[in-house]
Structures are given as structure tokens and as C-alpha cells.
A and B are shown apart, each in its own frame.
Chain A
Amino acid sequence: MRFVFKTRYDQDIDLAKDGVQQFWYAGLLVALLVAPLFLPDYWLAQLTFVLIYGIVAVGLMLLAGFTGQFSIGHAAFMGVGAYMEAFLAAKGWPLPLSLACAMGLSAAVGVVVGLPALRVKGMYLGIATLSFGFIVEEVFARWESVTGGNTGKPVVNAQLFGWTLDGAAPFYFVCLVCAVAATVMALNLLRSPTGRAFVAVRDSEISAQSMGIHLARYKSMSFAISAALAGLGGALYAHKLQFISPEQFSLVQSIDLLLMVVIGGLGSIHGAFLGAIFLIGMPQLISLGKDFLPPAIAQAAGLQGVIYGAILVAVVMLEPTGMYGRWVKVRTWLELYPFYRRGMFKRQKSFQKSERLK
């Protein structure tokens, strides 16, 4: 059993709360740094995708989990970043500059998409973002001169300080740097007034206003940051796949992103990465499991959809706090052993209250 004895306010302000946490996070970082030495190319690529989707998930987590704004068309921001990056890379722009531009454009689009948020809430906002998602996808398909239309657009390799990133390992490091930077920045935001303002907007808008929080400004900011991160993820995604087309940024992708944050655990940054691991790892697990299933089921095209859907339903019903929530319970059990009390995390039966009147 471990007890953390607090003597300074800094211990609450710091990211890693004590020596043990610092040790584990440092270990994780080291493991990620040396991964290219041990992992075969295929698994390294999967890990790269986990990092890329993790970045997007962090953005969506900030918006949906911490600011409480529904965004059902989030893949559109990924698409904006991806196409901007493809466009600039083709012109030979260096990576940091093109990434910055991709993020900037996505952020601008994010502010525009967030405009309905200033007037409507909840499901209305969800449908507004859904509509934007469709419109942006259609723009990608129609604006053929820039995006190559429905036939898609090949993406050249990234240029960084003069040398071309065409190997799996160098690009992995770029993604790792971006992922760590995005995570640290998000965590910094959350432990400072801006992050708390986001939470205030989520929990009670009227109260937030009476505390001096300008709703419009913080909602727009949340959309902008979230879209910028999605754009960053999209840009990296474009380089990794080396080919993008409008259907990669459709409603199905948007729902996958939401699935990621809900299964990972809404309201925690850890959840973003756990969700990304789920999203990338599940297809692998399914193909592994296919050997054990009768051929009629294993070969069916719809198997992945059924499994994803079932897991999503199960998570919301049985463990609404997601993978991270379950991990917290396990960790608490381990920390408090043998004094863990069974009712510690028991959910109260909740009754529905109207969200229209929030």
C-alpha cells in the first residue's frame, strides 16, 4: 500500500505526482524511443498509427470530453490537415512549416465549424458538426484541381531540414515527437485556467459565465485546438499512407474517432491513447481470432462492424468510464490491497434529467 504525503502545492500542480509515476512514465518514454530497434517494420507502422490517432484523439478528448461539445464530423479536420500537407509537401515545403500551415488551416476551419456551438448545444451541435463533415467531404471530392477529387492524391515523402523521410523509423520519431508534444501541451492546458474553463463550460454554462468565463471565446478556442490537433494527425496520416482520398475522411471515420474516445474513457488524456490502441489493435486481434471461428463467420465482411458495435455498446453499458476508468479501478485495487472496498466505485442509479434545460 502506498500513501502519497503531500507537502507542497507543486505536487498537485506537477504532471507526474510522485516518484513512482515519474518512473513509469520515464520507462514508457524509453520504451517508445527504442521501439524501432526491436519491432519489425509492420508493428512499427502500427505503433506509428497509434501515435497518429492518439494525437487526433487528444484533440477530440479536449473538445468532447473536457469541453462537452459534440463533434460528429471530426474526420473533416483530419482531412483538411491531410490535404493541406499533401499540397504543400508536393511543393517541396519543409515538414515543420507545412505541418504548421496544416494545423493553422484546420484550426481556422475548426473555428468556423464551432460557430454553431455558440448558439446551440447538445444534439443540435452534433448534427451541425455532422453537416459540416459532409460538406467538407464533398468539397474534397469536388475541388479536383487541389485535391485530385475522388481518385485521390498521392503524397510525397516529407522533407525535414534537407533530408527526406522515407524510412519507417525516421518518420516514427517524427510522430513520436508530435505525439509527446501534443500530449504535454494538452495536459498543460488542463492544469491551468484555460483547461478549467473548458470543464466549467461543460458542466454548467450559466455558472461559468457568472465566474467570468466568456463562453464564445472558450468554445471557439476548444474547437480550434481540437481541430488543429486533428489536422496535425491528418497531415502525419497522409505521409504515412502516402495516399489520401475523400472517403478516408467520411462519416465512418468520424464515428471511429468518437468510438476511440468513448472506449478509451471520456474525460482523460490516457483514454485518448488507450482508445487509439484499441482502434488500431482491434483489427489485429480480430484477424488473430479468425482462425478459431467457423469459416462462415470468420470470412464475413461484417464481422468487424459487429464486434466494434458490440464492444461500444458493452462499454457504455457496463463501464461508462471506458478503458481508463477500468484501469483506475484495477490500479486502486492494487494500491489499496488488501483494503479495497467493493463498493468504492459503485455507480448510483441515475435518473434522466433533461439536457435541454442545462
Chain B
Amino acid sequence: MHDIGGGTGTGTEERFEVAGITRVEGEGSLRLVVRDGLVTEAHLAIFEAPRYFEKLVVGRTPDEVLDIVARICGICPIAYQMSAVHAFEDLLGVTVDPAVRALRRLLYCGEWIESHALHVYLLHAPDFLGCANVVELAARDRASVERGLALKRVGNEIVATLGGRPIHPVSVRVGGFSRVPTRTELEPLRRALDAALLAAQATVDWVSGFEAPVFEREERFVALHHPDEYPMNHGRITSSDGLDLAPGDWGAAFAEEQVPWSHALQARMADRVPYLLGPAARVTLAGDRLHPAARAALDRTGLAGSIARNPNWSIAARAVELVHATAEAIEILDGYTPPERPAEPWTPRPGVAAWSTEAPRGLLFHRYELDERGRVASAAIVPPTSQNQVAIEADLTAFAPSVLDLPHADATHRLEQLIRSYDPCISCATHFLDLRIEPGATGEAQP
């Protein structure tokens, strides 16, 4: 493990522009302006079209919402279903069977595995190894890429087995699942996970040998924290500087606002100090709740401090979480006994449903107002990438001076690499307009 650095540069004005950031999910661009060695503008512009999911769910029942919000993302659909279902169950007073609770964690483990394997191997690792993309990496190191694809496949299989299909699953219901698997149906997963755990541990060893660009800053991290388990579906919203909120009280400390250069709302705390979500935040704030196999892997790397200080080392945090998710999935399968019934009954009621869970990319908050019929009257969905934008731009501002002495193309690449380290999911993040269609009107979009 080595760090590589750049120098400090000065100049009249230099612009770094990446029209389409590659190896991220969705479409965004970078615009960074440096005058006399100081960054005067650092914008992660998200220009992918808004998707109006918060309006699509209006008038829908809670169970319909679960299927609709799964469509927000092809990589992290479980996260959207989990935040929504826990919000509804909290409002409706539904307590699920312990086996259902475990199956939901297993489902989340599957999503973390496929999402983290995708980012570590196919999107982020090429940056560290001097490859233009994963095709070049596969030509050079086929075994590693095959290991990543095998891990991703196991994650997809978990989601498909529990959710009905690997992308946009359909089984999650308020109170449980539409159907739960038998032990026999889970046996192929159990066999596959033994190899996956070894692959995850090999991933930690692989990435800890990478060289990361030198960059350190003090970050405010935000993540769920639970006294008994690594955070996924339950826990309180905590921060590295003492925040402590119930999972539905996100709005008490955070608010969204629009900026001119992004279709994604940016979330801020009252003091406007940036905060960061995701694997590095979880490993830093909840590392004491990692599975022992993952904790041992993290300790073996000696990178816990670097993960907290240098965003480029988020790849190591993701690798550690791969170990956690595979190890926990094995334990859940070994202890699984199907519940007596797949879902608990519930009765519609009006009120506010709100909850946060830990998506692969960090805290995902949902809030729904249900009307007298128990249907959605309004919705707010706050994805992790829209929350991370401010921190990404702040980090770009702090990091850019260190690459000014590099050739322009190399400096631009380093900036793009820094953005990739946050694993932004731009497609998830894009929502910014309050779309109102008046009866008899052709449609009007209002900010």
C-alpha cells in the first residue's frame, strides 16, 4: 500500500471540464475553475433528466409504492424498497416475524454484494491500476475481473431468489414478503456463498495493495448506528460529531435545496458543513459492529484511518463490506427457519411514514404522507448521492490544488477518479422539480 501525490501549482486560470463522467451510474459532468492556484468553482453537474418518482407514487397504496420505488435504480432497488417498507410499517404499527427481518437483511446483503462488486471491480479498480476501463483490466488481470463478476453474480442470485428477479425485484410487501423461500430453495445460495466469502476476502487483500492519490481531510460522516448489528434496516441516524436521531427524523437536522447546476437537490445540515454517507462513513462510525470476519479483514489492511481521511480509500471500505455482507448472508442462511406466514396483516391509516436505511451508497431517507384512505398524498425521497454532492464538491475544491502541477489530462483524470471514489448513482439522485399538472392545463413545471 502506497500513496502517490501531486504537487502544488499556481497559474492565472485553469479549467477542468469533463462533459460526461465515465464509470459512474447515470450522466453527470465536472466543471472546476482554478484562478491563481485557488479553486473558485467546483461543480458536479447532474444533468440527467428528473424522473418524478415522488409524483408517480401519489395516490398509490403502500404495497404499490414498494414496486414503483424499486424502479428508481437497477443497482440498488432493494434500498428503495427497504426505506419505504420500514417507513410504512413504522406508521402502521406492523411488527414483522424475526425470520422476515432476517430475510430482509439477507436481501440487503445481496444488493450490497452486487453493487459493491460492480463498483470495486468494474468501475473503480481500473483507476488504481492505470487501466482505461475494465476491458483493459481484464486483458491484464483476467482472474481478478472474473472474481469480481462471480461476486456480483452471487449478489444478483440472492436478490433474484428472495425478490423474484435480480433487477427491480417484486416480493417485498408491507408486513413481510409476498412469498418466502423454503430452506431447500436457499441451498444453492449457501453453497455459492462459501466461495463468495473467500472472494470477498481476496478483494480486501487485492485493493489494499493499490496506490491511492494523496489527499486527506476531516470529514463529517453520517450513518445509521445500531447497538447490535452493522447498520442496514435499523438504527439511529448518527454523525461523527454527535448527531443522534431516530431513523424517521432526518428532516430535523437536514434539508434539501436546489442549486442552478444540478438536477439533483443537494442536502445540507443547518450549519452548512458538508457531510458524507456511504461505506467509509459506515466503516468509520459502525466498524465495531462489523462481522468478525470483516473486522479482521479491515484490521489486516491497516487502512481504517485512511478510509476515514482519504475518500480515495473508499474502495477498501467497500471491500470490507463485501466480506461483511457475504459472512452475514452465510449466518442468516444457516439459521433460517421459514416464518409461519410470509406477511403480517395490516390496516391502512393516515399519517406520516418516514424511515432511513443504509443503501450501498449510504443513508436513504423516505417520507410519505398517507391520506384518509391510506394512499400516498405526498412523498419525499432523499437518495445518498444527492446528499453526498456537497461533500464531493468540497473535496474537489480541497483536492484540486494538489494536482495542478500535473499535465492537464492527468489532473483531470485524478479529479474524475476522486468523483468515482464516492460511487455516485446519478440516476437515483435526479429529482428537482415540483411537477404540477392542473386540470385542463397542458402541464406546468415549477421549481
The answer to whether A and B interact is no
Residues of B within 8 A of A (CB): none
